[in-house]
Structure 1
Amino acid sequence: MAITLTRPEPALWLERYGDELYRFALGRVADRACAEELVQETLLSALQALASFRGESSERTWLFLILRRKIIDHYRHQARHPEVSLSQITPDDSTEADFFDPQDGHWRQRQYPAGWQSADGALEQQELHQTLRGCQDKLPAQHAAVFVLRFVEELTAEEICKELRLTTSNYWVIIHRAKLQLRRCLENHGLGRVA
């Protein structure tokens, strides 16, 4: 039985996949303009690589693979060329020793992460998502890149180290610090420990 390959239809990409590509990008980057830019870059790259499309996957899957690569490139660039506003530079009152036992590296009992407060309603879920996004946006560029690649894109530590040219130990330090910063930020927004 012969497999019939369908030819890509670039003129219909935006209509067919534009909204879906945009939502995917917006869920992974800080703002709408950046998401729009990534979708535009994806469509342009796909158009330029049209001759190399072999039809081994669907047109949609191919476009999403290109977009995913663009998102990784975006975070790689951010990690290498961070832009830090003065509002992001805040003195840190607590140290890592406040959270972790220096002997075994585990959470101190009084600092152990507690369960989140109830977030049953859709509005509460939306507020939680917005707060988490806001906290994520406050991370230094490299921390944000590593966090998103690990916990949103679900890349392995090895893949992230390769993409961002990090050592394994540097990766783990960045993940550790990003989690601490996110935790502090969420606690500052009332999403911390339940009494």
Structure 2
Amino acid sequence: MVRVAIFDYGAGNIFSLKNSLEKSGATVNVITNFDEPNNYSGLLLPGVGNFDPAINSIRNYSKTEFKDYVGDMPVLGICLGMEMFFEKSEEGKEKGLNVINGEVIVLPPSLKVPHMGWNDLEIKRPGKILEGVDDGSWVYFVHSYRVKPNSDSVITAVSDYGIKVPAVVEQDNFIGTQFHPEKSSSVGKIMIENFLDVCKK
């Protein structure tokens, strides 16, 4: 059985994510700092909250640096969790985790914001979390910002919402989804199981 941690920013309900992971066979702990020994096979940064408070909860409540704690452990960032991988965000003033080069920008004012609901994926290249996911699969989004990586090579899937929104990014041990796999029915379940498979390796 694979053992993973969800980092809780203190911002809201992470029950559905924990429940999805447990249904897929994982043992799940919820953590609030990085000072306990890391005996996990994977870490999840959930998609609940705002950029600055979430970043501060990662930076200010642990003596251990995020990158030192994580090492080469697989990390899945969901929505806000993915946005924090980048250098900065228009949602806040704090620096991001800077594990992927690029920034987070607000969706254009010409679009209905937040983008909320089901949208289909356009798979650009194979990815660890996309194994067994069909091109055109539908997933559930709730977001007002989008990531803008310096290099398109990290984008494995996009979604069309009037503009092409990066929907899945992967770089090294960091995997991010702009949508919520835990709310994306059977397609999301495949992705969660794929992430747990990566954690087992």
TM (norm. structure 1) is: 0.22
Larger strand proportion of the pair: 2
Larger radius of gyration: 1
